A and B are shown apart, each in its own frame.
Chain A
Amino acid sequence: MELFQVQVTMTDLLVIAPELALTGFALVILLMSAFARPERRGFLGYTALLGVVAAMVSLYWGIGVEASAFGGMVRIDPLSFFFKAMILLICLLIVLVSLGYAKREGIGFGEYYVLILFAAVGMMLMASGVNLLIIFLGLEVMSISIYILAGIMRDDTRSVEAAFKYFLLGAFASAFLLYGIALIYASTGTLDLAGIGRVLAEQSWISGRPILITGVALLTVGFGFKLALVPFHMWTPDVYEGAPTSITAFMATGVKAAGFAAFVRVFFYALPSLQAHWTQIMWILAVATMTVGNIIALSQSNIKRMLAYSSIAHAGYILVAFVAGNELGISGILFYLLAYVFMNIGAFTVVILLGKKGEENTLIGDYAGIGYHHPLLALAMAVFMFSLAGVPPTAGFMAKFYVFSAAVKADYYWLAVIGVLNSAVAAYYYLRVLIYMYFREPEREQAIGGFSPAAVLAIIISVWGVLQMGILPSAFLALARQSIQFLL
């Protein structure tokens, strides 16, 4: 009998170097938090920051490398490079924000940072996996970490309830995703995305293959849940409201970025031959997601809930680009996600800074008069709100511009019209925050509870990103174009 040998080469390790760096640092933090005295656990956050920077450096090392590793399981190419860089940026901002927030809310244990790093590893595996097995594993590593993170404020019943809801519905959706993978495997005989693409390209017509179609539909349901697309969005507002705010920002940006990375990879890499079929479904999902997200957001009085519905609506805009499916469309997805990272994390950071321990101040009424008491913070919030609403010269405007022009270019005029109407509706609830901040008298005296220099740094990075991408978008768009060139 032949002995089965597993060989790990240098290329293999280089391809997953950022993941290895994050995992290593996460394990070190876990050990340190076990041995450090409770009052000295403040440095755990800085170690996590160091880990993210180390992962960024190791990602930078592999710049320009294009290789598959571990027998074609993971792949580093421009697309996964872009998403890995974005996920590390998200991770960096979230850790920065958490330094002050975790201290204020008494989340003193190292597991908090460890799980953020582990979740980032899962996200990066999703972005670089070219095999459905790895994509599933990455998704689960990410999801399981975030189930715990959502409930990490153990004494807060709302946080635990958020974790509970996210867990039950997340596990339910994972089962759908897995069944989709199983059926695709049963009908094509492989889990490799490129292999699935080859099999489907050879067999031109699919009408006689109900198993495959069911598989793709179930896969869409599973991804739709993670990306919070309507009608799979019911968990989103509850979980986003109950989870700690830093984790809400992480879920709204990181999970979406990783989910869309895998979504793009699966649909444009493995299933391009079915494009005519799945675009119809995506068209409906895009319209439903934009419209429902925006309309329900109108009536929200809690800013975390409002941002939850707004994140649903933004996923809808990204789907518009997905439906368009042309060069501008796919690069628009990447551009939009990056813009969304800056404006969303920025907005959530302001929400964090305006809260205090035990008093989150997340009602929109709590924002009355902030423009006078905390002018700089209010100014930053105004930039983020303008960007989320899509007002020039911010990143949100350019992102929407690219997405809708991609739809027009691909002759989806109605989709573009519905999208533009939706962003007009959305302007109402974003600008309402501004009205409260600048034109209402405060109902009670407010002081900033958790002011931290690291969070201010995160806000500065976000404001820079929003303005840079809004005023000089061409460099970012060129980068996004370069990243998806090989898909076309």
Chain B
Amino acid sequence: MPASVTPLYFFVVSALIFAIGAAGVLIRRNAIVVFMCIEMMLSAVNLTFIAAAHYLNSLDGVLMVFFVMTVAAAEAAVGLGIFVLLFRGRKTIRVDEINLLKW
């Protein structure tokens, strides 16, 4: 890796990806796209972990990435199941149309 690439670059890039993901969650209306944005946030987190682990010369961050990926997979399985269930009952997964419960 060239010496000029400092950890700051990685942190800035992952912060940008995280922010794009967070903005997507708030703006997009389709539940699956929203969920993809959440996955993007998790990927940004993974990038931070990898970069930090590399520069700190520690394995903890790399280890964490494996767990994050596993948890994300489990979450996806449950989440998509819930989406299917919802779509069966309501014929929509647009988040602004899911409004039976409100005050």
Binding site for B on A (CB under 8 A): 133, 136-137, 140, 144, 147-148, 151, 154-155, 157-158, 160-165, 167-168, 171-172, 174-175, 178-179, 181-183, 185-186, 189-191, 211, 237-238, 241-242, 296, 300, 305
Q: Which residues of A contact B49 (CB under 8 A)?
A: 182, 185
Given A137-B67, A165-B98, A190-B60; A178-B42 close (CB under 8 Å): yes
Q: Which chain A residues lie closer than 8 Å to B86 at the CB level?
A: 160-161, 164
Across the interface, do A238 and B85 meet the contact criterion of CB distance under 8 Å?
A: no
B90 contacts which chain A residues (CB < 8 A)?
157
Interface centre among A133, A157, A186 (most CB of B within 10 A): A186
Residues of B within 8 A of A133 (CB): 60, 63-64, 67
Inter-chain contacts of B22 with A (CB < 8 A): 172, 175
| Interfacial chain A residues near B102, Cβ < 8 Å | 238
**Which chain B residues (1-57) contact chain A, with CB distance < 8 Å?**
7, 11, 18, 21-22, 25, 31, 34-35, 38, 41-42, 44-45, 48-49, 51-52, 56
**Binding site secondary structure of chain B:** helix
Q: A144-B78, A186-B52 are in contact. Are A300 and B103 (CB under 8 A)?
A: yes
Alpha-carbon gap, A61 to B25, bound state (A): 47
CB pair B103 A175 closer than 8 Å: no
Contact flag A237-B103 (CB < 8 Å), given A179-B41, A182-B48: yes
Q: Is the beta-carbon distance between A296 and B60 smaller than 8 angstroms?
A: no
25 pairs across A/B with beta carbons < 8 Å? A133-B67, A136-B67, A137-B67, A140-B74, A147-B82, A148-B82, A151-B82, A158-B101, A168-B34, A168-B79, A171-B75, A175-B18, A175-B38, A178-B45, A179-B18, A179-B48, A182-B45, A182-B64, A185-B64, A186-B48, A186-B56, A190-B60, A191-B61, A242-B100, A305-B103
Per the bound structure, the CA–CA distance linking A469 and B103 in Å amounts to 34
Task: Assess whether A190 is in contact with B101, with CB atoms less than 8 Å apart.
Answer: no
- What residues of A have a CB within 8 angstroms of the CB of B31 in the complex? 164, 168
How would you classify the secondary structure of chain A's contact residues: helix, strand, loop or mixed?
Answer: helix
Q: How far is the CA of A144 from the CA of B71 in the complex (A)?
A: 9
The number of A-B residue pairs with CB atoms under 8 Å apart is 122
A137-B71, A140-B71, A168-B34 known; A189 vs B58 contact (CB < 8 Å)? yes
Residues of B in contact (CB 8 Å), total: 44
The complex places the Cα of A174 from the Cα of B56 at a distance, in Å, of 24
Within 8 A of A (CB), among B59-84: 60-61, 63-64, 67-68, 71, 74-75, 78-79, 81-83
Cβ of A165 to closest chain B Cβ, rounded Å: 7
In the complex, are the beta carbons of A171 and B38 less than 8 A apart? yes
Q: Closest residue to B50 on the A side, CB-wise?
A: A182
On chain A, the residues within 8 Å of B56 by CB distance are: 186, 189
Expressed in whole angstroms, the minimum distance between the Cβ of A369 and any Cβ of chain B is 26
In contact, B11 and A191 (Cβ under 8 angstroms): no
A283 to chain B, nearest CB (A): 26
Instruction: Determine if B60 and A183 form an interchain contact, defined as CB atoms under 8 angstroms apart.
Output: no
- Rounded to whole Å, the gap between the CB of A139 and the closest CB of chain B is 9
The 5 closest A-B pairs by CB, nearest first: A186-B52, A175-B41, A182-B48, A238-B101, A178-B45
Inter-chain contacts of A179 with B (CB < 8 A): 18, 41, 44-45, 48
CA distance in complex: A88, B95 (Å): 36
B74 touches A144 (CB 8 A): yes
- Collect the chain B residues with CB atoms within 8 Å of residue A147's CB: 78-79, 82
Cα A19 to Cα B79 in complex, Å, equals 25
**A144-B78, A160-B89, A238-B102 given; A172·B38 CB < 8 A:** yes
With A and B bound together, what is the CA distance between A242 and B85 in angstroms?
15
10 further A-B contacts with Cβ under 8 Å, apart from A140-B71, A174-B71, are A137-B67, A140-B75, A157-B100, A165-B98, A165-B101, A168-B35, A171-B79, A182-B52, A186-B51, A242-B101
Within 8 Å CB of B81, what residues of A?
A: 148
B44 neighbours in A (Cβ, 8 Å): 179
Chain A residues, Cβ within 8 Å of B103? 237, 296, 300, 305
Query: Contact: A185 with B60, CB < 8 Å?
Result: yes
Measured between alpha carbons, how far is A237 from B103 in the docked complex, in Å? Answer: 8
Nearest A residue to B90 by beta-carbon distance? Answer: A157
Could you tell me if A175 and B21 are in contact, using CB atoms closer than 8 angstroms? Answer: yes
| B18 to A, closest residue via Cβ | A179
B contact residues around A241 at 8 Å (CB): 101
